[in-house]
Amino acid sequence: MTALRVSVSARDYTSEKAGAAINLRADYAEEELVKKIAALPLDFQPGEKWSYSNSGYLLLGVLIHDVTGEFYGDFLQQSIFRPLEMTSTRIISEADIVPNRSAGYRLVNDELKNQEWVSPSLNTTADGALYTNVLDLAKWDAALYTEKLLKNSSFSQMWTPVKLNSGKTYPYGFGWSIAEVNGHRLFEHGGSWQGFTMHILRYVDDRLTVVVMTNLDSGHADPSKIAQGVAAIYVPALEKPEPATTK
C-alpha cells in the first residue's frame, strides 16, 4: 500500500514551474510518481487558493488503487464503463489495436506533426489517459441525471463550489467548473493531451449537453468556443455576449 502524504496544493507536474521533475518519456511505478510529486514545492498553502492540478488527479488514481486494491482503469471499467455500456471507453494503450482510433496532431511552424510520444505508464494515470467518443460520453451524461452511478446527495457535493480557508468560494467542484450563462446553470470542463483537445458543456436546467472533441493540440484548437457556439444554436439565450472593446 502506498502512503499518500501529499498536499492537494502540490505543484502540477505538467506545468513549466515543475521543470523536469517527471520525464514524460520515462516509465514509473506508482510509488515513484508519488515520491516525485511529494518532492515538488507547494504552489500555496492547502485551502488558501484554488488551482487545477494534474498532480492531484494522478494521486487520486493511486488512492483508488490503494483503497480498492484495483488499478484505477479496471475500477472505472467495473464501476462506470461496463454498467453504462460505454463500450468504446478505456485506458490508453498504444500497443492494443483499437478500431477507428483517431491520431493526435500538433502544429509546428504551421506544419502538421504527430503527437509527442509519452511513456506507457504515464498514459494510464487518473489525470486523463482515456480513449472515448461522443456516443459513450452521451451515455455517461444521461447517467448523471439519474442515480445509476451516484446518489443525488453526492452529485450535490460534486457541483458545490469549493470553500477556501478565508470563507470565500471558488467556482469549481469535484472535477467540474461551475458557472452560469445568462441565468442558465452550467457545469463544464475541458482537457488536452497528446494532440487532442475536448470540452463538455452541461446546461443542466436546459437538459442540453454539448461535447466537442478535436485531434489537434491545445495551442491551435478551441473546442470550448465551438461548444459555446453550438449551445447557442439550440438555446439562443446561451449565447455569450462579446467582450466590450474600446476605441
Separation CA 238–CA 235 (nearest Å): 6
In degrees, rounded to 5, the angle at the alpha carbon of residue 195 between the alpha carbons of residues 194 and 197 is 100
What does the pLDDT read at residue 66? 96
The CA distance from 109 to 125, in Å, is: 31
Above 60 in pLDDT, residue 4? no
pLDDT for the residue numbered 245: 61
Mean pLDDT of the chain: 91
Question: Residues 147-173: pLDDT tens digits?
Answer: 999 999 999 999 999 999 999 999 999
Distance (Å, whole) CA 62 – CA 180: 33
Is pLDDT at 7 greater than 60 in this prediction? no
Give 75's pLDDT tier (boundaries 50, 70, 90): very high
Where does the pLDDT of residue 244 fall: very low under 50, low under 70, confident under 90, or very high at 90 and above? low
SS (H, E, C) the chain: CCCCCCCCCECCCCCHHHCCCCCCCCCCCHHHHHHHHHCCCECCCCCCCCCCCHHHHHHHHHHHHHHHCCCHHHHHHHHHHCCCCCCCCEECCCCCCCCCCCCCEEEECCEEEECCCCCCHHHCCCCCCEECCHHHHHHHHHHCCCCCCCCHHHHHHHCCCEECCCCCEECECCCCEEEEECCEEEEEEEEEECCEEEEEEEECCCCEEEEEEECECCCCCCHHHHHHHHHHHHCHHHCCCCCCCCC
Instruction: Over range 207-225, report the average pLDDT.
Output: 95
In this prediction, residue 222 carries a pLDDT of 95
pLDDT tier at 246 (50, 70, 90 boundaries)? low
Short-list 208, 173, 168, CA closest to 189: 173
Q: Is the pLDDT of residue 2 over 70?
A: no
- The whole-number pLDDT of residue 15 equals 84
* Spatial distance between the Cα atoms of 10 and 19, rounded to a whole number of angstroms: 14
Domains and CATH numbers, the chain: 1-130 (3.40.710.10), 150-241 (no CATH)
Q: Are 57 and 51 in contact (CB under 8 A)?
A: no
Say what the pLDDT of residue 21 is. Answer: 84
- Portion of the chain with pLDDT greater than 70, in percent: 93
pLDDT digits (tens, 9 = 90+) for 77-129: 999 999 999 999 999 998 899 999 999 999 999 999 999 999 999 999 999 89
pLDDT of amino acid 8: 54
Res 28 pLDDT > 60:
yes
The residue among 65 and 10 whose pLDDT is bigger is: 65
pLDDT at residue 16 in the model: 79
Q: Structure pTM?
A: 0.90
Residue in 119, 113, 62, 85 with CA at minimum distance from that of residue 217: 113
Average pLDDT over residues 21-37: 93
CA distances from residue 228 to 177, 185, 210 in whole angstroms, order as listed: 15, 13, 8
